[in-house]
Each structure stands twice: as C-alpha cells, then as structure tokens.
Amino acid sequence: MDSAQRRTSPQPTDAPAISVRGLVKTYGDVRAVDGVDFEVRRGTVLGLLGPNGAGKTTTVRMLTTLQKPDAGELLVDGIDAVADAAKLREHIGLAGQNASVDESLTGSENIVMFGRLYGMSRKNAKARATRLLEQFQLSDAADRPVKNYSGGMRRRLDLAASLVAEPPVLFLDEPTTGLDPRSRLDLWEVIEQLVAGGTTVLLTTQYLDEADRLADDIAVIDHGKVIAKGTPDELKARVGGERLVVALADEASAPDAIAALGPMCTDTPVVEDGAVKLYVSRREGAIVEAVRRLDEAGVGVEDIGLHRPTMDDVFLALTGHAAEERTDDETEEATA
Amino acid sequence: MRRLATDTMIMAERNLVRLPRNPDLFTAFTIQPIMFVLLFVYVFGGAISTPGYDYVDFLIPGIIVQNIAFGGFITAMGLAEDLNRGLIDRFRSLPMSRAALLAGRTLSDVATNTLSMVILIVTGLIIGFSFNANIGEILLGVVLLLFFGYAFSWVFAFLGMLVTTPEAANSLGFMLVFPLTFISSAFVPTESMPSALQWFADVNPFTVVVDAMRALWLGAPAGNDVWGAFVWSAVIIVVFAPLAVWRYRAAAER
C-alpha cells in the first residue's frame, strides 16, 4: 500500500490548504457554529481563538470528518470534507483534547497501531515509530505503558501519533490545555519545527499567548461566529497593547503620576485600588522609562509591572461586553 | 473488504495485548470461574438433585455457557472506555474501516473465551468431570460455545454504548445477564422451579444452549436443542450487531 507515503497535493500551491465557507452546525435550538468562514494558507498556522463553547471544537470535528455540517462548504487539501470524507482521512492528522491514545499500550505500540491503521506494513510502522519517538524525545519511554507517562509526554505522544502518515494538514485541538509551562514550551517548539517543515496547522486555543507565539493568522470565534480576523499584532493593537500598572506609595500623588506618565500611554490612565493603570504602545523599555519619569516627578512607587493582554481583554476590546454576555450564556445553558 | 479484515485483526491484537496489563480484568476470566466451579460443586452440589448425572457432570456444561456469555463484558467495558477517553474520535479520523473497531472487539472476545473455556474444562476434569461423547461431539460443543459467546459479545457491545462509563457498562451487563443465566437449566434442573419460573427457564436461550451442550458432551437426549442453540446464537447476532453499530454511530457523533 502506498497510503503511508506523503501525497503530492492535487491543488496548486497557492490554493488555501483549508477553506471554510458558510459553515453551520446546530444542536436543537443552539447554533453551535453559525456561518463561519476562514481560509488557511498552505504552510501556515491559523489560530482559532475563543472561550469554551465558542464553537472551536465543533468546527474542528467537522473539518476532520467526525461530524457532518448542516450547511457550508469545507475543503481540506483540496478535498471536500463531506463528499470525500474517506479520502480526506488519508490527508489529515488530529491531535489534542478530542483524540487520545491507548493508555494500556506502550508509546511504541500506539504509534505502530496507528501506522498500520493508516495502511502501513508492520515493518514500516515500526521504523516510523522509532523515528517519531526519537524526534519527540520519547525514546526512553517507548516501551512503557502510556498510563505511566507525565501529562507533557502524553501530549507529545498524542502529537506524534497524529503525524504517523506525515499528513500535509494537521488539526491541533487545544494541544496544551492543562499542561505545565515547561511542557507547553516543549510542545510549542515541536509544533514550530513541523510548520518549518511545510505542514499546515489549524490550532484551537483559549490562550492568547499560545496563538501569539504559534499562529501566522488568528480568527477569534464567539457564539459560533468569527468576530475578528488578523495577525496577532493586528489583534493586539485592537486590544490596546500592554498594560502598565503602578502601585503608588501615596495615593494622593496620583495626579502627579498621571501627568508624568501621560506621554507614554495610548489612552487615558485610570486610578484603581491605589494604583495607576494605563496601556502602553511599546513593551521594550516601558518599565525603565516609567520609573525614570516618576522619579523625576518625585512620585514614590511601591510596585510596578507590565501585564500582557489576556483573553478577557481581547474579548472586552472586540465585543465590548464579553464578561457580562458570557455570564448570561451560562445561565441560559443551565436552564435549557 | 480486505481493509475491514486487516483493521479488525489490528484492533483485536490491540485488545489482546492490553489484557494481561489489566490484572483485574485478567483474574475476572481466569481465577473467578475456577472459584465458581469449586463453590458450586462443593457447597451446593450435595444439596442439588440432578437425576441421572453426578452434579459435577451436570454443572460443567452449564457453568461454561454462563461464563462464555459473560466473556463479552470485556467488549462492553472496552468500548465504554474508548468512548470516554476520546480514543474513538481518533480512530474515526483515520482512514480505517469503521466497522473494524466493533468487529475487532468481538473477535478478541473469542480468544479470551477460548482461554476461559480451556481453564474451566481442565478444572472440571481435575475434580471429576468426564465426557460421554466422541471427539466430533466434543468439538461441535466447543464451536457452539464460541459461537454463542460471540453472539453475546454483540449484546455487550450494545450495552457498552448505552452507558457512559466502563463501571456502568459492567454493572448494567451484570444486572441483565446474571438473572438470565440463573433462571435456566445451567445450575439446577428446571423441573425444581415454581411453574412461572419454569416456563421462563424453558424458553430462555440459555437453557436451550446448556441443554444442547449436555446433549453433545454428556449424551443427554438432544431433541431440537443443538440446532436450536445455533439458531438462537445467530438470531442474537442478527438483532444485536445492527443495534450495536447504530449506537456506536450515535455515540461517536454526539
């Protein structure tokens, strides 16, 4: 069988690797995915960013043939995900919260099993497993049952399993949710290597920093709709950049502090809980400059720090009422 | 079709490799049946009257049928676990035969059922069981047991996907199948039961299969039991295999 070989794409290379148009999926009265459109350029990473229940996972499940859409057009690697679902499965890999591995098998046995299910011979699957486990630094654990793996090792194996057949398009559904920071970094590096090798990746995540680090483009999704698209820098600009928080030694000096910091900020500083808070346009040197300006103005400082925009900040900036709306939603869901 | 066969074998191999690594499961169909045989023969055996047979001869075909029918609980638990952990989604995203997951499960049960059956026959022979049959009848009995066990694996495959956890699959299977095996001729002659129970016991497929086994292995009068037992097993597969596939589709696409 040749199905394990890397396929030459039937599409010209300038055609998008993933194209989604008018995608709809409803569950009863709930429109989980409500007219989603996006494209992923070949060899790039699209980050699908949104809170829990936004419709990210449902979108991925439809793109990976696990569910049928109610409406819309889905093309992955030039293949129709509904009409040619069986063919598409040879061209994609899926990893993350929705695809796991067998806990009782060893790492190596898992990869060999998945390789053979892609149509590889046992011998080829074994050779591939050895290479993949080495690439993902799991060689030492290759013959241990997965239930003895750490969370980070499990996710690496999960990712390795999705790469057995060297798919040109890879779907990663919240690949680092629940991982410790060190393991997240490791996994990010592995994903970056894959993309450098030409793989197209669709990544869903709740974390802005993850999308920021890995994605070439981001689509923000909420209530089943894409509410913003752009590069990470474009989106951050819409959020208002980094937030500088200065805790004052004496709250009475707030007006002096605002006057001193005014030239640095992109909006009007606010005073909350004895601290001055403002958005700065540049991260580099912001703290040093702020300390110098405050010192020159004779303002006493207790603490100073820069805070990156969070998912909540993005939602607040994009929807204007994110937090409140999400609370309403939870109530609706609870009573539904 | 070739794809289905290859993938089914891969899945069956996976199930069998997993088995010895789950000691709880492993004792469930090795040590436990031996314990049951010993308890029945030595605790109840003296009090149960089985005209024409020693109790150990009467019991062994019955308890093997009960045991084989329960062999399918590994399928129920395994499927519930795969669904629970999201492993089914990975399989469904692969270019593999979709029927292979269920077919591989039920096929690997045949291997574990064979192991169970051998253990029980050996235990029986040690404590005094003896065949009253020629080699052809003994082998036909073995085929019937494995076929009936395979049929019940599809019942358990269906049950395993009605519930959401392996534990629930186990207890649901136990609650439904356990009374069926006891209200039959497996452990006592049905004539000793109250009339309503006896009526149920006589139409119970377990009784048909157990009586067929006694006809094949002990030379008991066969009547329609042997072919009736094969027909029952086939009917169970025809009914429960599509039900299992239907639940599998529904559960996987939720």
Cβ of B90 within 8 Å of Cβ of A114? The answer is yes
Q: Is the pLDDT of residue A321 over 50?
A: no
CB A25 within 8 A of CB A32: yes
- Position A297 confidence tier, pLDDT thresholds 50, 70, 90: confident
CB B87 within 8 A of CB A98: no
**Most confidently modeled range among A110-114, A180-184, B220-224:** A110-114
Listed in sequence order, the DSSP H helices in chain A are 56-63, 85-88, 107-117, 122-135, 151-162, 181-196, 208-214, 232-239, 254-261, 286-296, 311-319, 322-335
Kindly state the average pLDDT of the residues A194-208. 91
- Position A332 confidence tier, pLDDT thresholds 50, 70, 90: very low
Chains A–B, number of C-beta pairs less than 8 Å apart: 67
pLDDT at A39: 94
Nearest to A90 among B17, B85, B95 (CB): B95
Cβ of A104 within 8 Å of Cβ of B22? The answer is yes
The answer to whether residue A124 neighbours chain B at the CB level (below 8 Å) is no
Q: Is the pLDDT of residue B55 over 60?
A: yes
Residues sharing a CB contact under 8 Å with residue A328, sequence separation 6 or more, in sequence order: none
- Among chain A residues, the shortest Cα distance to B87 is held by A100
Q: For A227-272, what is each residue's pLDDT tens digit?
A: 889 888 777 767 666 788 888 888 788 888 888 888 877 777 778 7
The overall average pLDDT reported for chain A is: 83
Q: Residue A88 has which token pair? A: 């598409």
Contacts of A117 in chain B (CB under 8 A): 7, 10, 91, 94-96
A92 beta partners: A169
Task: Please state which CATH number belongs to domain A18-236.
Answer: 3.40.50.300
User: Rounded to an integer, what distance in angstroms lies between the CA atom of residue A105 and that of residue B18?
Assistant: 6
Residue written as token pair 């060297």: A166
Q: For A5-41, what is each residue's pLDDT tens digit?
A: 444 445 456 789 999 999 999 988 888 999 999 999 9
The DSSP H or E segment spanning A204 is: strand A200-205
pLDDT at A183: 84
Residues sharing a CB contact under 8 Å with residue B31, sequence separation 6 or more, in sequence order: none
Cβ neighbours, 10 Å, residue B126:
10
Kindly state the average pLDDT of the residues A173-181. 86
| Torsion of the alpha carbons at A229, A193, A113 and B97, rounded to the nearest 10 | 30
Q: Is the pLDDT of residue B13 over 50?
A: yes
Cβ of A89 within 8 Å of Cβ of B14? The answer is no
Contacts of B91 in chain A (CB under 8 A): 117
Q: Is the pLDDT of residue A58 over 70?
A: yes
Cβ of A66 within 8 Å of Cβ of B92? The answer is yes
How many CA atoms are closer than 13 Å to the CA of B143, on its beta-carbon side? 11
pLDDT at B247: 87
Q: Would you say the C-alpha torsion B99, B102, B105, B111 has a positive or negative sign?
A: negative
Nearest to A145 among B7, B21, B89 (CB): B21
End-to-end distance of chain B based on CA atoms, in angstroms?
Answer: 27
User: Rounded to an integer, what distance in angstroms lies between the CA atom of residue B119 and that of residue B109?
Assistant: 15
Q: Is the pLDDT of residue A1 over 50?
A: no
| Torsion of the alpha carbons at A276, A281, A282 and A283, rounded to the nearest 10 | 50
CB A137 within 8 A of CB A169: no
pLDDT at A195: 93
- Under an 8 Å CB criterion, which residues of B touch A? 6-7, 10, 14, 17-18, 21-22, 85-87, 89-96, 252-253
Separation in Å, CA A248 to CA A55, A72, A279, A286: 43, 55, 17, 17
The answer to whether residue A105 neighbours chain B at the CB level (below 8 Å) is yes
The domain ranges of chain A are: 18-236, 241-308
The answer to whether residue A152 neighbours chain B at the CB level (below 8 Å) is no
Residues sharing a CB contact under 8 Å with residue A83, sequence separation 6 or more, in sequence order: none
Contacts of B7 in chain A (CB under 8 A): 117
Nearest to B87 among A66, A67, A100 (CB): A100
Q: Is the pLDDT of residue A331 over 60?
A: no
Cβ of B86 within 8 Å of Cβ of A105? The answer is no
Task: Please state which CATH number belongs to domain A241-308.
Answer: 3.30.70.100
Cβ of B93 within 8 Å of Cβ of A118? The answer is no
CB B218 within 8 A of CB B61: yes
Chain B: closest CA distance from residue A251 (Å): 53
Chain B: closest CA distance from residue A117 (Å): 6
Contacts of A1 in chain B (CB under 8 A): none
Separation in Å, CA A231 to CA A74, A203, A208, A219: 23, 14, 12, 9
Nearest to B86 among A90, A99, A105 (CB): A99
Q: Is the pLDDT of residue A2 over 70?
A: no
Q: When comparing pLDDT for A57 and A269, which is higher? A: A57
- Among chain A residues, the shortest Cα distance to B21 is held by A104
b/e string for B34-73 if b means 16 or more Cβ within 10 A? bebbeebbeeebeeeebeeeebbbbbbbbbbbbbbbbbbb
pLDDT at A99: 61
Q: Is the pLDDT of residue B238 over 80?
A: yes
Instruction: With H, G, I as helix, E, B as strand and everything else as coil, classify residue A302.
Output: strand
The answer to whether residue A155 neighbours chain B at the CB level (below 8 Å) is no
pLDDT at B2: 79
Distance of CA B220 to the CA centre of its chain: 23
The overall average pLDDT reported for chain B is: 89
**Complete DSSP assignment for B193-236:** S-HHHHHHHHHSHHHHHHHHHHHHHH----TTHHHHHHHHHHHH
Contacts of B18 in chain A (CB under 8 A): 102, 104-105
**Complete DSSP assignment for A32-51:** EEEEEEEEE-TT-EEEEE--
Cβ of B14 within 8 Å of Cβ of A102? The answer is yes
User: Rounded to an integer, what distance in angstroms lies between the CA atom of residue A237 and that of residue A279?
Assistant: 11
Cβ of A119 within 8 Å of Cβ of B95? The answer is yes
Kindly state the average pLDDT of the residues A128-153. 92
Q: What percent of chain A has pLDDT over 70?
A: 86
User: Rounded to an integer, what distance in angstroms lies between the CA atom of residue A285 and that of residue A306?
Assistant: 11
Kindly state the average pLDDT of the residues A177-198. 88
Of the listed ranges B19-33, B66-80, B133-147, the least confidently predicted one is B19-33
CB A190 within 8 A of CB A159: yes
End-to-end distance of chain A based on CA atoms, in angstroms?
Answer: 50
CB B204 within 8 A of CB B183: yes
The answer to whether residue A86 neighbours chain B at the CB level (below 8 Å) is yes
User: Rounded to an integer, what distance in angstroms lies between the CA atom of residue B67 and that of residue B177?
Assistant: 11
Listed in sequence order, the DSSP H helices in B93-163 are 100-126, 135-160
pLDDT at A53: 81
Q: Is the pLDDT of residue A325 over 60?
A: no
Q: For B132-170, what is each residue's pLDDT tens digit?
A: 989 999 999 999 999 999 999 999 999 888 887 878 887
User: Rounded to an integer, what distance in angstroms lies between the CA atom of residue A81 and that of residue A202?
Assistant: 15
The domain ranges of chain B are: 2-252
